[in-house]
A = this chain, B = another copy of it.
Amino acid sequence: MLERMFDPNGVAVIGASRKEGKVGRAVLENLMANGIENIVPVNPNDGEILGLRAYKGILDVPKEKKVDLAVIVIPAKFVPEAIDQCGRAGIANVVVISAGFKEAGVEGARLERECLEICQKYGVRMVGPNCLGIIDTGSGLNATFAANMAHKGNIALMSQSGAICTVALDWADRTNVGFSKFVSLGNKADLDENDFLEFFENDNSTAVISAYLEGVKNGPDFIKIAQSVTRSKPVIIVKSGRTSVGSRAVSSHTGTLAGSDAAYDAAFRQSGVIRADSLIEMLDLSRAFSAYPLPKGRNIAIVTNAGGLGILTADACSSAGLNIASFEESTINELRGTLPPAANLYDPVDVLGDASADVYAHALETVLADNNVDGIILLVSPQAMTEVTEIAEKIVDIIRDSEKPILCNLAGGTRVSEGEATLQKNGIPNYPSLERAVTSMDALCTYYSIKDRKHSSPQQISVDKSATDAIIKDAVSNKNRILGLESMDILSSYGIKVVDSRIVKTLPEAVGVSEEIGYPVVMKIVSSDISHKTDVGGIRLNLRHADDVERAYNSMMSDVHRYMPEARIAGVQVQKMVSGGKEVIIGMNRDPQFGPLLMFGLGGTYVEFLKDVSFSVAPVSTDEAKHMVSSIKTYPLIAGVRGEAPSDINSIIDALIRISQLVTDFPEILEFEINPLMVMQDGQGCVAMDVRFTIDVK
């Protein structure tokens, strides 16, 4: 569908200009410099522009120019009309470089909507508005006003910031990194990251997909598409706005802990996207994937002429969870036979400061042949006798022919620059620091397992959906934002066991209910004005007989009245006391981009002070629910430690899947939290002790 966007027969530039310094001239020049055949300037003053025949309007351009793409660089207010004309002229693709749309305010946003509607009317696809343009190094299309043209390569890059496009292009120019396609997404009025992900998935010239994003437009689609794409091609994204606090009012732990970034972290992980921590890391990883085969494991050999760099690299590998390889006997023997006596023959291999290019090359080949080695980090320090350039020349062929990745760090400055250039000329990155080489190696190893992961879809469990439906409809029609005890019924209808619990209004009722459900019981104050019951003395535990209940009832009422005289008391909740379990918490917060974001953690202080929780975007598969449970740091506390019986982890996983289904079934549920879910010993299930639903009542 988008093939012609990148490989058009003819390109029109609407707003082409002769004037130096004008964007309309820069675009035209860029197109002309890179071998597109039919380039058609469109300008109210027709005649010739830069030697090309110009036309007054796009409708005046003859059919034989086969214009498939129009690049629009005219003031915003004229753009809708221009797109309309493109539509009428049968041009299926437009790139709107012009600014002055949504980013500029209300009138701009209206214009942008108008453009989109016109596109949709004619089936025209649009990149932008407010973008730098697009590049295809295969077809030779440079429909941008950038000062650099991309080099040819296999990385497809898209960016929500035009300026960051220019940074990336300029960086790539200096490091000789090549791109297949280059897209400045602009305001993403029509085409967005999802469209291009899909397109790049099937684009033969693309092996690696990278992006700078400030957000995704459609979260659920993004996950679906990225899950598929990452099975065949690595996707590396740097997303900004990581630490912005966001302004949503939140009333649960889930909301507070999630912030604005946890959903992205979860969504990227769930869809196999590699999240880069910075722009430079995104570029570093992209060039690693572009240049190297994937390692088959995480056992890394280090070859160095400087012991100190070797130790630092081993440190960095260890921090990244990469293993220092244990060499085969034959490797060590071969190294012993060829390296000087003071050399270190074990990983990290130190070939010593006076190693010649031949010594380096031989050590590299020896280590490369070792079956216990999955990848190599090669370090060169520019010591007095070191022939950095010769070393670089010697190893280029080894690296190029290798089925294992060999990542290089020629460390230093002036004296390694020629060697660096040698590597880069041959399409081999030189990482400016050992840490960047290690981070890139880690990404290669990680993607090897992402690529081969099993796919497990969320299963549908049979539940009593209609019961919940009725409760929620009722809440919506009564504008009842926070649910009361009916929350427990929702859980029950989705097959989650809840504690036996009643709400009472008087002491005699409290005693009666206690006798009925059986001692010991717990009492909790019920009031929509009180969020933290403990703080006001609103919870009494372990009541063993009627006298206990009476004493507790009276003192609780007086405490609550004392602490919060204004609170409206709806009653007292009497619950069966459950003991011997572990408290966990399951929450859900609706993320603006990705929808229902589930949270799991151990209850109480673990959640509050240690933020030891995990997040996943619902719906979750069984594997994903398992991951949620096992990825918290306090997992050993429920898995069983020190001879203690393990908790019923399967019942937590089951509850997570049911909650996942519930919040997917009912978008009206805005926030949700079971706190605590009491998990009993293995085989004995779990039971929800308290739950809080916030319903979207509009």
Contacts and interface: CB of A to CB of B under 8 A. Distances in A.
Interface stretch (A409-417, A546-554, A679-687): A409-417
A242 B174 contact: no
Given A342-B104, A610-B610, A383 B280 contact: no
Contacts of A23: 384
A145 interface: yes
Nearest to A261: B315
A384 B166 contact: yes
Contacts of A337: none
A99 B307 CA distance: 14
A146 to B, nearest CB: 6
A320 to B, nearest CB: 10
Nearest to A313: B240
A643 B163 contact: no
Given A413-B173, A609-B637, A166 B381 contact: yes
A476 interface: no
A385 B610 contact: no
Interface in A409-429: 411-417
Nearest to A159: B308
A633 interface: yes
A353 B144 CA distance: 15
A547 to B, nearest CB: 20
A306 interface: yes
A435 interface: yes
A305 interface: yes
Interface residues on A, range: 35 or more
Given A241-B315, A280-B433, A308 B416 contact: no
A518 interface: no
Which of A166, A306, A532, A637 has the most chain B CB within a 10 Å cutoff? A166
Contact of A160 (B244, B308, B314, B534): B308
A138 to B, nearest CB: 22
A270 interface: no
Interface in A631-651: 633-637, 641-643
A605 B637 contact: yes
Contacts of A316: 278
**Best-buried of A147, A384, A636 by chain B (most CB within 10 Å):** A384
B171 A307 contact: no
A612 interface: yes
A478 B162 CA distance: 77
Contacts of A143: none
Nearest to A280: B433
B415 A170 contact: yes
Nearest to A147: B384
A540 to B, nearest CB: 15
Contacts of A214: 308, 311
A633 B611 CA distance: 10
A319 B532 CA distance: 30
B243 A318 contact: yes
A392 B81 CA distance: 42
A163 B415 contact: no
B384 A26 contact: yes
A382 interface: yes
Contacts of A50: none
Interface in A300-335: 305-309, 311-312, 314-316, 318-319
A411 B167 contact: yes
Given A433-B280, A435-B278, A643-B534, A166 B383 contact: yes
Interface of A: 21, 23, 26, 99, 103-104, 145-148, 159-164, 166-167, 169-175, 212, 214, 238, 240-244, 277-280, 305-309, 311-312, 314-316, 318-319, 342, 353, 381-385, 411-417, 432-435, 532, 534-535, 605, 608-610, 612, 633-637, 641-643
Given A147-B383, A166-B382, A532-B642, 14 more contacts: A26-B384, A103-B342, A161-B307, A162-B353, A166-B381, A167-B411, A170-B382, A170-B414, A174-B414, A243-B318, A279-B433, A280-B435, A535-B642, A609-B641
29 contacts: A26-B384, A99-B342, A160-B308, A161-B308, A162-B353, A163-B306, A164-B306, A166-B306, A166-B381, A166-B382, A169-B412, A170-B382, A172-B413, A174-B412, A174-B413, A174-B417, A240-B308, A243-B314, A243-B319, A244-B314, A244-B315, A278-B433, A279-B309, A279-B312, A279-B411, A532-B642, A535-B643, A609-B633, A610-B612
